[in-house]
Amino acid sequence: MRFSYNKLWKLLIDRGINKKTLREMSGISATSVAKLGKGGNVNTDVLLRICNALNCDIGDIMEFVREENFEEQERKDAFPNV
C-alpha cells in the first residue's frame, strides 16, 4: 500500500491555494511539501496541521492505494477524462 496525496492537490486547486500558501497556513516545512509531492511518508503531525489549516478530514487529503494500482490511479487522477 502507498499513500496518494492527489486529493490534497485537487483540494488546493479547488480553493485557489498554492503550496507556499499551504506552508504558511499550516506551518509545515518546504521539505514536507516536497515529500507530499513525491507521495512520500510524512509525520502524522504534518497531516493534522494541513487538515486544521484547510478545515478538512484526513480522508479529504489522502488515500491508500494498492502498490499495483498506484501508477494507474496516478494516471487517472492526472487525466480524468482520458
Model confidence, pTM: 0.78
Taking residue 37's Cβ as centre, other Cβ atoms within 10 Å add up to 12
Q: What is the CATH number of the domain that holds 60?
A: 1.10.260.40
Is 6 a domain residue? yes
Give the per-residue pLDDT at 78. 67
Is 82 a domain residue? no
Within the chain, what is the greatest distance between any pair of CA atoms? 36
Is 18 a domain residue? yes
Residues above pLDDT 70, as percent of the chain: 80
As for how many domains the chain has, the answer is 1
For the chain, what is the mean pLDDT? 89
Give the per-residue pLDDT at 70. 54
Confidence grade of residue 65 (pLDDT, cut at 50, 70, 90): confident
Is 81 a domain residue? no
Domain range spanning residue 39? Answer: 1-76
